Structure 1
């Protein structure tokens, strides 16, 4: 309901809205979590039928990589909703994922720009063009995940469901999952979760491991996730092999791999994170327009 806001705007008044607060279905005040102000801004823009939503922050826009890790990182002029969703979910913290989801649903362009300069920022929008897209748009590094491995899990139908149903029932989001090839009717299952849920997930897994008679549980905090994102990957073959070759040439071991149509993510040792991002950024020539 925006009638009151619209009336004040018609009277040339500036409206200030608390960005990170919301209301539950029971009419209780709650917070919207990290980046909740982004979500509020997009929701208001949609409700007011604005042409676009401008979000002012402390950076000049969306970059090809974190400039603190890659000094040669370049500001991206335009990026698709799908690419931004992947970057946000893989560790880029410029925009909140839910804000991008709402913007995509209602096809509302978002402009991300700096509060401190007049430079043009980055436009996040639905890109419909015949111009060839770059293979890779950006690279992210996430260091806020942990890897949990359950060793010698009985290899029979339903075991994975038992493990991950117990985790889901506690409201824990699982990111990447890898199951080894079965040997002597047992297998290892590894998965990653956010650090905020790490110990809660570990307690659940230890209990489940006893119930299913798994051998042991390994908890590893020394991991990072490096991800490359680009809609151009849909129409180009060999991107994954190129990523793996680049990491191998820098003696970086890959522990887990996850792919989607426009994203390739690898779990590596945390100390190798910066080196991996710089190597991939250079290999895919993201410093060049």
Structure 2
């Protein structure tokens, strides 16, 4: 019997009626003869409301108590969905993250999942009960405190459970049909990507794509978990993310254009040894728990030293600046400057650093529409650039026309699904 993990995000359950719809989908999966474990996010808007209430009490609430508060959002939707499943005549049991055996590091608000011991989940499955697990939360091994694993943490909870239970597939349900070549809210003509590798999805998430949280993609790649991103509002096949590349008639160099409007540009000036400094900066960011930083080196105006530019998540600026100042001697720079109002656009694909015409087309495209930009990272799989937030959407649309909808791209050949069978479970 196949085992499926189904995770439902907050956008899938904004109302009680939507919770009932999710319950019907879960029961239908079980009726088809498949074991299912459900991971629930908080109902849409709940986490933001809890944060607002906490900050009405104190501008800087204690992290431990904030985690204890925020964890209740997922617990509420989890129990409500279990009730809805019971109302349909099926057996279900809701579990908190720690009851499900999710063990984390002690870092409140940004904990890492370090282990999953799903004994109670296995027992429920053996009894024919549908287990539901509250996402986004776990228990610190060091002090037995409740922890949360950051925004998008329910994705990571689902992937970690899929790995621990050796599930056949982990379905991530949301309010969109899958992963697109760009954000369809920005680029209406964006196309659905039917298959991505873990590496491609990772580059998209790191470049700002919001469909999957970056830590969940990293965890899936490390543990070879196949993901299926689908809409909870219909039954059409979405996007499969796995370790193996899909079969295509032609693989274009650029598969998507991503963007992130919430970025800060940090510049280190007076760098004496750029190669050493870049490695030291990367180590400092990793030690500070900032994994999405991208860097660029350039000659300084004085002709003797170099400048290093970093793009950091805006929420990580304070932590990043502290880390850079702490490791100033190791990095070897004179001054640090920060522009907290920046944005990035990224091309994601393969062979980008060697494919002829990529950089020239990018430069021509943005110059023609008058968007100033600074290249920040050029690798084989992603080219990222900084641009003014006010022109970000213009840049994304123009790049999508040039690279994804233009002559450099041929459409990918989608797999043909068998009706009623999850795409990733088909032979």
Interval containing the TM-score (normalised by the shorter chain): 0.7 to 0.9
Q: Distance in 2 between matches of 1:269 and 1:2?
A: 46
Q: Distance in 2 between matches of 1:101 and 1:11?
A: 32
Q: Distance in 1 between matches of 2:286 and 2:354?
A: 34
Residue number in structure 2 paired with 1:54: 171
Residue number in structure 2 paired with 1:75: 192
The alignment covers a number of residue pairs equal to 287
Residue among 54, 57, 66 paired with 2:183: 66
Q: Distance in 2 between matches of 1:111 and 1:194?
A: 27
Determine helix, strand or coil for the equivalent of 1:16: strand
Change (3 A) 1:165 1:65: closer
Q: Does 1:11 align with 2:130?
A: no
Q: Does 1:277 align with 2:396?
A: yes
Q: Distance in 2 between matches of 1:254 and 1:35?
A: 29
Q: Does 1:101 align with 2:101?
A: no
Q: Distance in 2 between matches of 1:113 and 1:130?
A: 21
Determine helix, strand or coil for the equivalent of 2:167: coil
What's the CA shift for 1:29? 2.3
Q: Distance in 1 between matches of 2:213 and 2:199?
A: 13
Q: Which has the higher contact order (CA 8 A, sep 6+)?
A: 1
Task: Report if the CA contact (8 A) 2:254-2:349 is conserved.
Answer: yes
Determine helix, strand or coil for the equivalent of 1:277: helix
Q: Does 1:190 align with 2:309?
A: yes
Residue number in structure 1 paired with 2:162: 45
What's the CA shift for 1:59? 1.4
Change (3 A) 1:22 1:253: same
What's the CA shift for 1:155? 6.4
Residue number in structure 1 paired with 2:349: 230
Deviations 1:80-112 (A, max 9, x none): 111100001111111112221222223221111
Change (3 A) 1:85 1:160: closer
Determine helix, strand or coil for the equivalent of 2:192: coil
Deviations 1:188-233 (A, max 9, x none): 3322222112245446767959xx783x543223321100111364
What's the CA shift for 1:162? 7.3
Change (3 A) 1:275 1:28: same
Task: Report if the CA contact (8 A) 2:170-2:227 is conserved.
Answer: yes
Task: Report if the CA contact (8 A) 2:269-2:307 is conserved.
Answer: yes
Q: Does 1:140 align with 2:258?
A: yes
Q: Distance in 2 between matches of 1:21 and 1:120?
A: 29
Residue number in structure 1 paired with 2:229: 112
Residue among 295, 312, 334 paired with 1:177: 295
TM-score, scaled to structure 1: 0.85
Segment of structure 1 superposing worse, 242-251 or 177-186: 177-186
Task: Report if the CA contact (8 A) 2:259-2:345 is conserved.
Answer: yes
Residue number in structure 1 paired with 2:245: 127
Determine helix, strand or coil for the equivalent of 1:118: coil
Q: Distance in 2 between matches of 1:150 and 1:69?
A: 32
Residue among 369, 376, 379 paired with 1:250: 369
TM-score, scaled to structure 2: 0.60
Deviations 1:118-149 (A, max 9, x none): 22111111216474322211111111111122
Change (3 A) 1:13 1:193: same
Determine helix, strand or coil for the equivalent of 1:8: helix
What's the CA shift for 1:248? 1.6
RMSD of aligned residue pairs (Cα, Å): 3.1
